[in-house]
Amino acid sequence: MSMLEIKNLHVTVGGKEILKGLTLRVAAGEVHAIMGPNGSGKSTLSYALAGREDYQITQGGISYRSANLAAMSPEERAAKGVFLAMQYPVEIPGVTTLNFLKTALNAQRRARGESELDAMSVLKLVRQKAGTLQVSEEMLKRALNVGFSGGEKKRLEILQMAVFEPVLAILDETDSGLDIDALKLVADGVNALRAPHRAMLVITHYQRLLDYIVPDRVHVLAGGRIVAEGGKELAHELEAKGYAHFAKEPA
């Protein structure tokens, strides 16, 4: 049994069907890439997995560690180890980044029946992870994402991933808006989290990120369905031939 099993998933947003029968399996320890052109349904898939309310599942289902993921609230999913690194992290004035990390981590721990960590333990944990991602003390003291550059926001998403230690991590276009140095930094952060008990779904438009986060499997998403699957070499083929070539072929 795979960790994540998506079967014939249909998702409607605002009355419009975006995912039209998507099927995907991801096993523990694997990194899968989902590639696709704009409008193919990549972000819809990530939001459906994280549980956004306005993303309605009309057919099919998502099973995560043998449980029905679709029936869970976003916070339940987080507590059970699902993490989505968002393409556009939101800015929350008035809540410091460090305080946010503590609140979220402890909420997850509480939901799992674990003891809460005090401020000092959280600070220690965050500091230990923040260094390699070049997230400064100053950033931790600022309001969450407020006035952060695109690169800083993405680094903070990866820091959250490192702190929460999810079981299933979904990265939605984490590479968008990053220069090559920032991209390498983020990729190093992601690679450091690869583990036998953890699965990752890396969603991207471009092959570039996959030079640094090398996937076990690559899936091509077009028109709300997976239209091609293969090993890491598929990403290079896409780069050479473009999406148009794949979009025509059924999977």
Partner 1 sequence: MNAAAIETRRSEALDNFHTRGMPHRRFEHWRYSDLRAILDAGQVAQSGTAKWQVESVPDGVELFDLAAPAEQAPEWVVRYLGTVGNRPTMKEASLAFADGGVALRVTRGRKSAAPMRLQISSTGNVRLLLVLEDDASLTLMETHASDAGLLRNVGVEIVLGSGASLSHVRLAPSAPKSITVEHIGVTEARGACYRAHFANFGSRLSRTELHILLQDVGAEAHLSGVMVLGGEGHADVTSHIEHVSGGTRSTQLFKKVAGGKSRAVYQGKITVREGANGSDSWQTAKALLVGDRAEADLKPELIIFADDVKCAHGAAVGDLDPESLFYLRSRGIPEREARRLLVRAFLEEAVEPIEDGGLRAAVWREVEEALSRAMVIVR
Q: Which residues bind partner 1 (CB under 8 A)?
A: 50-54, 73-75, 77-79, 84, 86, 89-90, 92-95, 100, 103-105, 107-108, 111, 143, 160, 164
Distance CA 163, CA 147 (A): 22
The least distance separating partner 1 from the CB of residue 82, rounded to whole angstroms, comes to: 8
Q: Which residues of 48-80 are buried (b: 16+ CB within 10 A; e: fewer)?
A: bbbbbeebebeebebbbbeeebbebeeeebbbb
Closest approach of Cβ 233 to partner 1, in Å?
33
Pair type for strands 199-204 and 168-172 = parallel
Structure tokens at 173: 């276009």
Nearer to partner 1, 12 or 99 (CB): 99
- Distance in Å, CB of 46 to partner 1, minimum: 10
138-155 burial, b for 16+ CB within 10 Å, e for fewer? ebbebbbbeebeebbbbb
In eight-state DSSP terms, residue 118 is P
| Cα torsion 99, 76, 150, 123: sign | positive
Nearest to 19 by CA among 30, 34, 4, 3: 34
| Cβ-based nearer residue to partner 1, 65 or 208 | 65
Q: At what angle do helices 119-130 and 150-164 cross, to 10 degrees?
A: 120
Length of the chain: 251
DSSP secondary structure, 62-101, as one string: EEETTEEGGGS-HHHHHHTTEEEE-SSPPPEEEEEHHHHH
Which CB, 88 or 242, lies closer to partner 1?
A: 88
With respect to partner 1, which residue has the nearer C-beta, 79 or 227? Answer: 79
CB of residue 75 vs partner 1: minimum separation in angstroms? Answer: 5
> How far apart are CB 36 and partner 1 at their closest, in Å?
22
Q: How far apart are CA 132 and CA 185, in angstroms?
A: 8
Given the complex with partner 1, which of 78 and 202 has the nearer CB atom?
Answer: 78
Report yes or no: 177 and 151 within 8 Å, Cβ to Cβ. yes
- Give the residue with the Cβ less far from partner 1, 54 or 138: 54
In the complex, what is the shortest distance from the CB of residue 126 to partner 1, in angstroms, rounded to a whole number?
Answer: 14
The minimum distance between CB 73 and partner 1, in angstroms, equals 7
Q: CB-wise, 43 or 207, nearer to partner 1?
A: 43
